[in-house]
Each structure stands twice: as structure tokens, then as C-alpha cells.
Structure 1
């Protein structure tokens, strides 16, 4: 199976559980709510060492190199294993741990017992996984690692 959906229109988010920028429960987030600009989705699991050693630092660097007018961000815990550890309650802990004031979602194993909708729809290879969507709604970057230093050019800015 080929991972990622580079060049495809980004699928709707079907994540059922969300907290807002302040850690409060909120209705399901849509890509439209992230604005008509570039959007970055970061998929992770609470217990994933690479998510904490590489993924979150990369996410923080992307946020630091952008402005809210240029890029909308959301984080989704895609639980395909470790359901007893990767719980919705962990969202607020990870949000606070990294000082992130962006929405966090929790997408767990589907009713058929396979993978979360985000993993299926975005064809992720696991976690951490980044997806960057351009203002037209097309996935322009996706994968386990994103070079935060080259992203300002992707967002239309030179560093």
C-alpha cells in the first residue's frame, strides 16, 4: 500500500472527539474552520516516542515559523494501538505539555476494529504523521517527517 495522499484533495475530518485551544470539549472540527489558508494536521499517539522526540518539536518549529493569518493547525491522536493508554484524556496533557493553543482531536479504532478514519482517509503510515494542505484544499506535503526549515517557502514565504 502506498502511504499518503500527496496531490489529492484533503478528505473531511471525521474525528468524533475534540478539545479547543483552551482544552475544553468542543464540537467536531472541520478543515474549513482552520481557515482559507494553509492547514497543517499533525497525527500522533500519546505513547509514541518519535511523536515526542521528533513530531512535536517539528510542529512547534512550524508554528514558530508561521503566523495565524498564514496557517491553521490541528493535532489528532490517531489510536490504532494502545487504546488503554492513548485515551481522550491524554489530549489535554499533551496540549499543556507543549503549550499548544490549537485544537486537539481523538480518533480511535473504527467500529470494524481496524484503523481510525484519519489513518484510512489520509493513508498515513503510522505516527508521527504530518499533512499540509494548501488554500485550495490539496495535500501538498505528507509523511513521517517534514523539514520545518523549508516550510515557509511552501507557505509562500522566503526565510
Structure 2
């Protein structure tokens, strides 16, 4: 098992959501693998590679296990990429999964979520595991085979939220952290 630290995914700073009755959050999606596709509708790589791939993931994996979220993160040509234009774009390209509009920064061109995730541009694909941790981020095109393997690997990991040692229930068995006494053994004393 991998012993690498994975940072918690920053909260999404979104001004408006499309294709969803209620705004999704990292907390509401806990227990699922999240595929976050950051794009701009005027980005050729987003239109030809990023969004079609996100759509394939959305249709190819069980929705109760994998959530695809689009993030329209505009750092150029902001004046033409309005909410109305995005709504028409999502309709024309038949994008069914939730899409949030990244909140502009108070200063500078880089939107807030894009900055929080340290994205280099669009398209950027980020994988967030069942525990809400960033596990992979890739700027540009990602192979479907590689992405499918990474999602499959994350689906194979436990999806429970780790607890503080002080709060952990006693249960039998050994882990890398130590060996716990069986509750039945305690009661027999």
C-alpha cells in the first residue's frame, strides 16, 4: 500500500452551477472518485480532448462510484465567455454532468479554484479519491487507458474516512498502525 501524503482537495469556489438541481460539493461527493475537468469553451484542447474524455468517463463508469464535474475556469477572453454563452455551449455539446463557473479572482486573471489547485491552464484533469484527496492532476491530454487505470485503482481503495487514533473504534486485526484487541476478548475478561 502506498504511504504517500495526498493533500485534501480545496473547496470549489463557484459562482453558478449548470446541469444540477443542487450544487455538488466535495463533502456531498465523499465516497466517490471525482473526475474534475477544468476547461474553457474557447480552448481547442478542451473541446477536442478534455470534454469528450470527461463525457466518456461519465457514461463509462457507475455514477454511484464516479462523479464527473466540469469547471469552466476562464482566465482569458472573459468578456465573451458569459454564463449565457456557456449555457448554450453545454446544450450544443450535450454535456450532461454538473458544470460550475469558477469564481474570478479579486485581482488578476486566474480564477479562485484554478489558483487553489495550482492549475497550469486548460484542459486540466484532476482525480480526487473517495476520501476527498487530490491524487492526480494533469494539464493537457491524458490517455483514456491511463485515466481508466487510475480511476480503477482509486475505486479499488477503501472508501472510508480515516479517524483520529483517539476516536478509532477498537476492532480485531492488525494494520500498519498496530494491532487492536478484539472487543469480544475484552468482554471475556
Band the TM-score falls in, shorter-chain normalisation: 0.7 to 0.9
Q: Distance in 1 between matches of 2:89 and 2:145?
A: 24
Distance 1:95 1:124, change over 3 A: same
Q: Aligned-pair distance for 1:155?
A: 2.8
Who is 1:122 aligned against? 117
Who is 2:16 aligned against? 17
Name structure 2 gaps, 5 residues minimum. Answer: 156-189
Q: Distance in 1 between matches of 2:57 and 2:22?
A: 26
Q: Give the match's secondary structure for 2:49.
A: helix
Name structure 1 gaps, 5 residues minimum. Answer: 1-5
* Structure index of larger Rg: 2
Alpha-carbon RMSD across the aligned residues, in angstroms, is 2.2
Is the Cα contact below 8 Å between 1:11 and 1:122 reproduced in 2? yes
Q: Aligned-pair distance for 1:103?
A: 1.1
Q: Aligned-pair distance for 1:87?
A: 1.6
Who is 2:7 aligned against? 8
Mean alpha-carbon deviation: is it higher for 104-113 or for 77-86?
104-113
Higher RCO, 1 vs 2 (CA within 8 Å, ≥6 residues apart): 1
Q: Distance in 2 between matches of 1:34 and 1:92?
A: 24
What TM-score, normalized by structure 2, do the two folds share?
Answer: 0.70
Distance 1:73 1:79, change over 3 A: same
Who is 1:43 aligned against? 38
Q: Distance in 1 between matches of 2:104 and 2:144?
A: 30
- Runs of 4+ off more than 6 Å: none
